[in-house]
Structure 1
Amino acid sequence: MNIGTRLRRLTAANAPRSLLPRSSINRNGARTFLTTSDKDEEAPSLRGIHPELACLLQKSSNWSNEMREKDAGFFDRIGSPQKPKYLYIGSCDARVDPTTLMNVEYGQLFIHRNFGNIVCGSDLNVLSAIEYAVERLGVPHVIVCGHYDCSAVRASHTQTDHGIMENWLRNIRDVQRLHNKELSQIADAEMRHRRLVELHTIEQCNNVLKTGVVQQARRASFNKYGFAVPRVHALVFDPAAGELKKLPVKWKNELKDFGSIYDLYPDS
């Protein structure tokens, strides 16, 4: 008996009966396995659309109809090429929806979200979003938005191996290390968490400013207009209070501190 067979038998022996894979033969004669429940078996309609998905689709249809009634030109505007004012980099936390919490019109935000609102220099996903927003869309503002009660930040507080997530959480642990002197002086655990959220958000803004595409754009706009864009902003949202605030960061001091190290275009 090979290891694959042994694992399948072990899984079947310990799994709830209603969740065991059910085999069937598709049109091509190949065997397929579908994870179903007894409830699914009794509801033929689920073979088409799951009721929870059907609910979302119905809500979307209702929303579409309501928007047409409120604003006849809404979808004409949405259907035209996007011209967002802001690149928003934030958490994928379900409680932190950027369009809702900022109360902006659809199309104003170019949004990138990930676990912990991290701007990592080796993450092609976030770097591609930054490049597209800055070079192609010409956004004048980049927002990095953290939030209190952040699961990623809380996980980085613990001396626990979180598996594959550790490769990602290490970015937040590095922020902890950089600011350990300040954080270690905060006795209250919750206040320490909130301060780490703020410091982490600021460091991610610094990471945005370290990218070549942002430096190029800021240098070019400064030479042409006398001011640098995109501007970078550090915001934090408090889900419990419903408050969004701007962190008091003196970017001139921040840039002065690391400019000689990270400035890629010092003479341009």
Structure 2
Amino acid sequence: MNEHPHNDSLIKHDTDVSTNTDTQTNESMTSDTEAPDNKHKRIVNTFMKRRTHMNKNAELALTDPEFTQYLVNNSFGDGNLEGINDLRSSFSDKPNGSDAPLTLEIGFGLGDSFIEMAAADPTRNFVGVEVHEPGIGKCAYMAGTQNLTNVKIINGDAIQLLKQLPENHIDRIQLYFPDPWQKKRHYKRRFVSPERMAIVTRSLTQGGWFHTATDWEHYAFWMVDVLDNFAGLSNQAGKGNFTTRPSFRPMTKFERRGLERGHGVWDLIYIKD
């Protein structure tokens, strides 16, 4: 139902290039740490990075200097986030400047809806973070061919990135169709958890939004339970309720196909108090 792989940093079950048979999450590259003791830490990823075909346009965007303006860390795969501690400064030499409203999308997959949103709202700056190299390349290529000046792309782990950013830094954080991690033993990998939401909320401005959408009913109600009970966030639709899909979130071909088959889609918008 989505144009990018499921994202709990990058695994989505429906994508342009890799459908259910080759998923790659969209919770864009997010990992977390658990510390059983003070000496050892175990990484718990919310994404699973997998190889998929990279077309010529995507490869061109990752290697041609013409597209480097869109790639904050053009390291072709290592996801090094060192020194990325201020997203707004990336736009200081662009028409909108660094003070424009700022949206961060976690796990944009192949970038179709991300680019559509950026093109439709040119006075807002958009940063996308992703680990899927073909998606990063395709997204940069689309931004370049449309001559967008309000888009930046980061290759790396979204949670690590958020930890490096200042408090009250981002106006909107969006997470669309993250990996639902359906098996109970994998629930700890779901992006929406109290621990990860503390990191997300810290980076949001007061009045800023966290917007998520899923086509997995169990995960939808899981998120309502976590987010409604998370101090510092208020459900825009009222406690226990979902939001009607907002017009600014593009409906992808996979989402439309799913709706035609009777599948559900659930949107949630939470506002930082």
State the TM-score, normalized to the length of structure 2.
0.31
Which structure: larger Rg? Answer: 1
Identify the structure with the greater helix proportion: 1
State the TM-score, normalized to the length of structure 1.
0.31
Q: Which has the higher contact order (CA 8 A, sep 6+)?
A: 2
